[in-house]
Structure 1
Amino acid sequence: QALLATYGQDHDAEQPLWLGSVKSNIGHTQAAAGVAGVIKMVMAMRHGVLPRTLHVDEPSPQVDWSAGHVELLTEARPWPENDRPRRAAVSGFGVSGTNAHVILEQAPEPVTGEQRADSAPVVGLVPLAVSGRGSAGLAGQADRLASYLEEHPDLELTTVARSLLESRGQLPDRGVVLAADREQAMAGLRALGRGEQAPGVITTEGGPVKEGRLAVLFTGQGSQYPGMAQTLTSTFPVFRDAFEETCAQLDAHLTGHAPHPVADVVLGEHGDLIHQTLYTQP
């Protein structure tokens, strides 16, 4: 009924909203049910085909299908290109009452090497990936890269990082230097060249990462924590804009019920208030 009341009103009999279910294809995948629907629609966009929903003989009589233009995908249908990107919506319904609805849009055509900007602004941390054979080989590669950056001060870190990933072989012993600017990049690379530990330097040397501890964050009630979006909102404008817009929508619905804006609670300005169900599952 919700789909009929929203999307179904802007369609007509010639171009209805097509409805399908991934569970008819692979069954209920429990915790992966939501992402299975996302994967299905991404592949549908890639191949230009709306997949058939299996085991459907007739629409459920429990739904008033005349309330809007929504039809079941009882057969596979072509999804041709037109003057706008393909779009699809995926719904997931959790047993705890947590419902998710995601709108997907067809990605633009990949940008070729010739179309890429030679100078891209540095946003947040840039990973400089270095590899070699053995500790000496890894150290030597790090030193040579540091020297190269010193000799070419006009190179952007993002350009160097992309070249390291796309045009260099990945040898067994590896290191990554995370840097926000050239000074941090040089310091990290020189430390890697000396075989020393330093902030932002991570090495494997043929095995698991030597430094760092494994943390597992279980979803459901308990995955939230104060300040959970601080780094993303301060580093990536696209995330910050989407976060603020979403919180504004929630605040509008919570007027009279929640004493504090959702964004302030998520960013940790009110301590552990985020653990209250009102904010955890608004």
Structure 2
Amino acid sequence: MDWESGAVALLTEEREWPEVDRPRRAAVSSFGVSGTNAHVILEQAPVQEAPAEFDAGSVTPVPWLLSARTTEALSEQAGRLAEFADSRTAAEAPAVARTLASSRAALERRAVVVAADQAQALTGLRALSSGEAVPGLVAGRAEVAGRSVFVFPGQGSQWVGMGRRLSAESPVFARALAEVEGALKPYVDWSLVDVVNQVPGAASLERVDVVQPVSFAVMVGLARVWGSLGVVPDAVVGHSQGEIAAAHVAG
């Protein structure tokens, strides 16, 4: 691009972005070395009012979510959570509910205690712990089996030593590497298996003509290992170089 003519210039330092009578917008063009390009228009986000402070006397219901692998474990978790909640203040209830919803595993056995105050939360948790039924408590079994997707990354996800131990311990993975090496052998003067196993004198992963075939082999090998364990994807997707592995695994 001829930067000497026209009004377009590279932004090389921070500059003021003055307010105008409409949302501010910016156009961004990003060109990747692999040909992965992005052309995006960004618009200024709307101004949001600051959230009001939580009122401990509020009667807004708050859901407390729990999950475990078994009914017994769910009951035990409810008991522990009741002990914890009994030592906290009412104002901390939203923070506890948010943590339960966003930072805990979603397992098969689940329950929710909907409470407008700390007393209701404790009542529901203690009822769940003892196997009783009270208003605001719902428990049951969730269907957690769903569709699976394999996501294959592009160049840059590699590291020295990747696949080395798996190659030694998994015959399925080792066969996949050997298969890719056999297909590659007529075109290169280095050993893919030696690179994975870090054999002295093996080609370096710093070379782009090495890292891409090796990454492909590792991704395909991992897919073969998952498949041997019964995990077959319903869909595959790949980014950049990973598109090739995704296409291969898809058939």
Shorter-normalised TM range = 0.3 to 0.5
TM-score (norm 1): 0.33
Q: Which fold has the larger relative contact order, with Cα–Cα distance below 8 Å and residues 6 or more apart in sequence?
A: 2
TM-score (norm 2): 0.37
